[in-house]
Amino acid sequence: MSQRFQSLEAYVPGEQPADMEYIKLNTNEAPYPPSPGVIAAINESEIRKLFLYPNPDGTRLINKLAEFYHVGADNVIIGNGSDELLAFAFLAFCDGGRGVCFPDITYGFYPVYAELYDVPYEQIPLMDDLSINLSDYCGVNKNIIIANPNAPTGIALPLGDIEAIIKSNPEFVVLVDEAYVDFGAESAIPLTRKYDNLLVMHTYSKARSMAGARLAYAIGPEPLIGDLRKMKYSFNPYNVNRLTQIAGEVALQENEYYVKMREKIVKTRESTVSRLSEMGFLMTHSCANFIFAKLPGVSGYELYSALKARGILVRHFSKPRIADYVRITIGTDEQMDRLCNEIALIRTR
Ligand SMILES: *Cc1c(COP(=O)(O)O)cnc(C)c1O
């Protein structure tokens, strides 16, 4: 392997063990299938067309996304998941002279890409309550990535704070990763018409039940989107396959289904939060489809392992400041009942 990658620490996705059937609450997927039209659209006639390459621009999907978000088609790019669009953003906007910053506790892929692309990066510590201190991001003179709501804390910044960050760093790109925005935060997409340094990224993986299809999009001013497009055409022009493009279009047409689904997930989140706090858990205020919880007296790893032994997967991060916590994806009501019942047994053991 090349010398420069020998010490690279790759991203570690949530586990998918095959030894038994688990209730999977460890990667923030939706617990419900895609909408009926999406399922019907991936039919034999579309599968028969797989001998053809997909449309490299994703023109039809991009036009639908542009209409949906009231922006121009030149303001949208699609990618094979946000992870790919993030890679394009690192390539396009960051280098030795233009570093990047993000919180010390956030999506684990940001530092991996910074290392992979050899970009200087600063991890800005969250405050003790795991929230972002706004002034830490004002006038930093670096590119900035903020997940809003943040992961794995679920804590959201108000749009006014995001706007203050954008305004105070006019010469640098502010990338707002809104993977979870539809579960209870305010989107910065409307601000992309006002600021030329803002990029907003959304994924179909969480709030649109399509983690397995690999689809995401970025919205921003035309010059920034053009730069991302240049990276895409230098890396993988056919990055989103035919079936996924179709699924993405139909999902937008059936937005009502997803709105209802998210309302249901948020309701399940709130009832789970109540039950866990009755059992003595401490949690951050989640605006996402997961909760970040700790039980005083029980380590995060203990809780993770005890749940795994009982057939429930949650995510544990062995990082110093958050080792006491587990991140629990919100599943169906039935799955969360099972979770709470198993936790009650673990506590009284
Ligand atoms: C899940 C997640 C992503 C990755 O989404 P994909 O579109 O599935 O690649 C990006 N950012 C955050 C904060 C996430 O939680």
| CA of residue 321 to ligand 1 center, whole Å | 22
Q: Is 151 in the pocket of ligand 1 (CB under 6 A)?
A: yes
In ligand 1, the atom with minimum distance to the C-alpha of 84 is 9
Q: Is 335 in the pocket of ligand 1 (CB under 6 A)?
A: no
In ligand 1, the atom with minimum distance to the C-alpha of 151 is 13
What pTM does this model have?
0.97
| CA of residue 141 to ligand 1 center, whole Å | 25
Q: Is 81 in the pocket of ligand 1 (CB under 6 A)?
A: yes
Q: Is 107 in the pocket of ligand 1 (CB under 6 A)?
A: yes
Q: Is 243 in the pocket of ligand 1 (CB under 6 A)?
A: no
Pick from 205, 208, 239, 240 the residue to mutate for probing ligand 1's pocket: most ligand atoms within 8 Å of its CB. Answer: 205
Pick from 83, 153, 209, 315 the residue to mutate for probing ligand 1's pocket: most ligand atoms within 8 Å of its CB. Answer: 83
Q: Is 83 in the pocket of ligand 1 (CB under 6 A)?
A: yes
Q: Is 149 in the pocket of ligand 1 (CB under 6 A)?
A: no
Q: Whose CA is nearest to atom 14 of ligand 1?
A: 179
In ligand 1, the atom with minimum distance to the C-alpha of 211 is 8
| CA of residue 62 to ligand 1 center, whole Å | 20
Q: Whose CA is nearest to atom 2 of ligand 1?
A: 179
Q: Is 177 in the pocket of ligand 1 (CB under 6 A)?
A: yes
Q: Is 240 in the pocket of ligand 1 (CB under 6 A)?
A: no
**CA-based torsion, 302, 303, 308, 310: positive or negative:** positive
Pick from 11, 107, 240, 289 the residue to mutate for probing ligand 1's pocket: most ligand atoms within 8 Å of its CB. Answer: 107
pLDDT tens across the length of the chain (349 residues): 999 999 999 999 999 999 999 999 999 999 999 999 999 999 999 999 999 999 999 999 999 999 999 999 999 999 999 999 999 999 999 999 999 999 999 999 999 999 999 999 999 999 999 999 999 999 999 999 999 999 999 999 999 999 999 999 999 999 999 999 999 999 999 999 999 999 999 999 999 999 999 999 999 999 999 999 999 999 999 999 999 999 999 999 999 999 999 999 999 999 999 999 999 999 999 999 999 999 999 999 999 999 999 999 999 999 999 999 999 999 999 999 999 999 999 987 6
